[in-house]
Homo-oligomer: A and B are copies of this chain.
């Protein structure tokens, strides 16, 4: 039975790494002693070791031990043996490239299907969608595919950002970008604002956190759903 948290971000403005969601994670990881951390997304190019160190310090606050997947000789075995998994944010393309390179896509899908608790933030949440085609990241490496873990039957847009009506910049708004996605693709997209997450428990998918989320379906106007809404029928 799936047991997954798909969080928009690791960090909300003005608080420390993972602090906003630590109470939730205490409950989520209550049967877990050691978390396998996948640092492949490397935000700002940080090394696997340094990223794992940062994550270890956050999880020490709730008495969890963290091991980086790069410390294992066989990353596939590390996933299979893991008590719980955390995939952190950074660059979604770098993350996806590394997952394919290490043959971890199916292994992760199987572990998640079998109930290994999985936490994703940002890039680690993007890969829970059908594809990474709604990432906000720069395509700094070329992955062998944009297909992702498909933990949920739709796409995720983390760090969802409402249009800045005062802006004179001619770049596209996030909403415009997601509408463009729907000119070429049909799956729904969940725009998760910072501080929001999806809790997946078996077949149940519930929006959590203080904010509403914005849902984009093909050929429909976008709409808001309140926190607590079940998104089980979205596909």
With beta carbons under 8 angstroms apart, the residue of B9, B183, B185 that contacts A42 is B183
Q: Does A202 contact B (CB under 8 A)?
A: no
A42 cross-chain contacts in B, Cβ below 8 A: 183
Residues of the B chain whose Cβ atoms lie less than 8 Å from the Cβ of A172: 43, 137
Taking CB atoms and an 8 Å cut-off, the chain A residues in 1-31 that contact chain B are: 9, 11-14
- Write the chain B residue with the least CB distance to A195: B170
Asked whether A140 lies within 8 Å of B185 as measured between CB atoms, the reply is yes
Q: Give the residues in chain B near A184, CB-CB below 8 Å.
A: 45, 94, 140-141
A161 close to B171 (CB less than 8 A): yes
Are B13 and A170 in contact, with the CB atoms below 8 A? yes
Mark each residue of chain A from 148 to 181: 1 if its CB lies under 8 Å from any CB of chain B, else 0.
0000000000010100000011111000111111
Q: Is the interface of A mostly helix, strand, loop or mixed?
A: loop
A139 to B138, CA, bound (A): 9
Among residues of B, the one whose C-beta sits closest to the C-beta of A10 is: B170
23 A-B residue pairs with Cβ-Cβ distance under 8 Å, sorted by A, are A13-B168, A13-B170, A42-B183, A43-B172, A44-B180, A45-B183, A90-B180, A93-B139, A94-B180, A132-B139, A133-B141, A134-B138, A134-B140, A137-B177, A138-B177, A138-B180, A140-B177, A140-B184, A159-B169, A159-B170, A159-B171, A169-B194, A170-B194
16 further A-B contacts with Cβ under 8 Å, apart from A140-B185, A170-B194, are A9-B170, A13-B170, A43-B180, A44-B179, A44-B183, A94-B180, A133-B138, A133-B139, A133-B140, A133-B142, A135-B138, A136-B171, A138-B181, A142-B145, A159-B169, A159-B170
